[in-house]
Structure 1
Amino acid sequence: MKLFEKTGKMALGSRLRLLTSKVTEDAAQIYELYNIEFSPKWFPVFFVLSEEGEKTITEIATEIGHSQPSVSKIIQEMTVAGLIQENRESSDKRRNVVALTTKGIVLAAKIKVQCVDVDAAVESVILEARYNLWEAIEEWEFLLEQKSLLRRVQEQKKLRESKDVQIVAYEDKYQAAFRSLNMEWISTYFQMEEADYKALDNPKEYILEKGGKIFVALYENEPVGVCALIKMNDPDYDFELAKMAVSPKIQGKSIGWLLGQTVIDAAKELGASKVYLESNTVLKPAINLYHKLGFKKVVGRVTPYERCNIQMEVQLK
């Protein structure tokens, strides 16, 4: 169909629905061909009961991957058709057990004959086709179970938007953004401390003139994230990753990751062997980011921050 040539893969759902409709329409006529009064949508429920005997609605729903309301509706329709009886031989009326009636059992035998022909017909299509749709469906089901289409679209959206983020070196014109972004972030979760004001009020003196660096993330030419690489006077560490803050209005574009990578790359260029950082475990997204950047927990360090309850390092050499 030319429509799908125009829409591309984004119309996958529509194309599958169209194919499903075509197959379902044929299925209804196939039942008529064998003089069987049966709705194609009943088949999964009917098959489970014919092969495994009585079941609860919950058990059927779990086995065929349908919702309980959907299965309940099918059960009601099949009960009206005389194929299913509810609570058959069940002493516990609270447990909704269903099973095939005598009519249903007789019909199951007729459908088995029909299934032989249907299986052969489907196999003939598979042999004629270039690709095995049956195996492809099984593979797609597995892959989408591992990672849903929604999750995959979210990742692609994040990747595309992250390409619009530019990481630049600090300039005086970004001092207000450096201060406000950090104050907003810190004040959301904690309280500003003396060490914060030193770095945020005098970034050139406290960070840059001591051999550190500051990077700014721009989105549509607006500063939306910042991060600093602070030179440490410490025998164990060369630099500290600090003062990372991203505007909550623009999160979800991998800005923290891009800033973190830039800071680590800068530390490598400066010959650092290790980079240190301090944080708090209440900041789960931040801790996860640090782990992805290669940081691991360390203990026994003295910190000037009351809010710090975790210290981490990354080996660069």
Structure 2
Amino acid sequence: MDFFNQVGKLAIGSRLRMLTEKITEDAAQIYKLYDIEMNPKWFPVFYVLSQDEAKTITDIAREIGHSHPSVSKIIREMVKHGLVTEKKDKADGRRNMVSLSAKGKIITEKIKDQYADVNQAIEQLSAQTSNDLWNAIAEWEYLLEQKSLLQRVSEQRKERESQQVQIINYTPAYKDAFKQLNEQWITTWFKMEEADHRSLDNPQGYILDRGGHILVALYNNEPVGVCALIKMDDPDYDYELAKMAVSPAVRGKNIGWLLGNAIVEKARSLGATKIYLESNTILKPAINLYNKLGFRKVAGRNTPYERCNIQMELFIK
């Protein structure tokens, strides 16, 4: 166990697999000890069929939490060894009903002593431990159903990588990056329009000199994301959130969320109470981001963009 002591929880999968293999090997020997013809992997199917009448493979799979193909394979193996039989459902000829054979039913009586002895042995083993493995497994299963280990690791990755992101104020050194990043995403989904060219070709005159602001996201000191606040001449809104773009090479690193939060905080620091934006519902990740930031759909405003089919606003508290 030196390896597991050294590696720790990183090797949880390997350690659980080793424990499972050890218990499975013992289980095979226990069946032999009691002269029971049984493969350990058949047991869940056998037990379910020993408690009820005939069942479909779908019902068995649902009850034991296995996939349909997995249960089908087990059934074929058990049929081959004479433990179960398959028959067409009298009420629905499209379904096969699975039940224990005469040989299987004999085992249900023969195995009772084994059940009692195994249960008692496990109770004694549990009594010798300071942690309740059975309850711990149930807790882990519940928590992983709510959020898988893959999701949890992905979140940790995003959190770690987001710490390498810097959000800074725009300077003329980032003029090309501002234009290239926006052109990249616009032309991926749509086409460049006149309003795009006005703001991207001259961000200083079109955005900054009119009271707007641009933020730049740096990842490993390289510009990978941009977002602008455009001052609006409108009694209903202070600024428009616009020209948010993140390089596809760094998506999945929380950069859009960091930029969005930063631009909202920038608006708040400027005394803004309401922000407006335009987008397109085909951009589902972007719409999800805006919803997460607190934007809500509005309608009925004029727009210079052909691609716009959704308008949103955010009240800043």
Q: Into which bin does the TM-score normalised by the smaller protein fall?
A: over 0.9
The answer on whether the counterparts of 1:4 and 1:15 sit within 8 Å (CA) in structure 2 is yes
Letter in 1 for 2:195: A
In structure 2, the residue matched to 1:128 is 128
Distance 1:97 1:265, change over 3 A: same
2:212, 2:93 → 1: CA distance? Answer: 74
Mind listing any 5+ residue stretches in structure 2 that lack a counterpart?
A: none
1:53, 1:243 → 2: CA distance? Answer: 64
1:60 positional shift: 1.6
In structure 2, the residue matched to 1:180 is 180
Please list, as runs of the form range in 1=range in 2, the aligned pairs for 1:28-39 lying within 5 A after superposition. Answer: 28-39=28-39
Distance 1:297 1:89, change over 3 A: closer
1:174 positional shift: 0.4
1:28 positional shift: 1.8
In structure 2, the residue matched to 1:2 is 2
Under a length normalisation based on structure 1, what TM-score does the superposition of the two structures give? 0.94
The answer on whether the counterparts of 1:86 and 1:99 sit within 8 Å (CA) in structure 2 is yes
Equivalent residue pairs, number: 317
In structure 1, the residue matched to 2:205 is 205
Distance 1:44 1:199, change over 3 A: same
SS in 1 for 2:98: strand
SS in 1 for 2:262: helix
Please list, as runs of the form range in 1=range in 2, the aligned pairs for 1:100-139 lying within 5 A after superposition. Answer: 100-139=100-139
Deviation digits for residues 265-297 of structure 1, max 9, x if unmatched?
A: 111111111111111111111000000011111
Mind listing any 5+ residue stretches in structure 1 that lack a counterpart?
A: none
1:76 positional shift: 2.5
1:88, 1:32 → 2: CA distance? Answer: 33
In structure 1, the residue matched to 2:264 is 264
The answer on whether the counterparts of 1:87 and 1:93 sit within 8 Å (CA) in structure 2 is no
Under a length normalisation based on structure 2, what TM-score does the superposition of the two structures give? 0.94
Sequence identity (%): 64
Please list, as runs of the form range in 1=range in 2, the aligned pairs for 1:1-317 lying within 5 A after superposition. Answer: 1-87=1-87, 94-317=94-317
1:234, 1:93 → 2: CA distance? Answer: 70
SS in 1 for 2:209: helix
Distance 1:89 1:169, change over 3 A: closer
1:90 positional shift: 5.2
SS in 2 for 1:207: helix
| More divergent stretch after superposition (44-53 vs 148-157) | 148-157
1:105 positional shift: 0.7
The answer on whether the counterparts of 1:207 and 1:231 sit within 8 Å (CA) in structure 2 is yes
2:302, 2:151 → 1: CA distance? Answer: 41
Letter in 2 for 1:79: V
1:261, 1:168 → 2: CA distance? Answer: 13
1:44 positional shift: 0.4
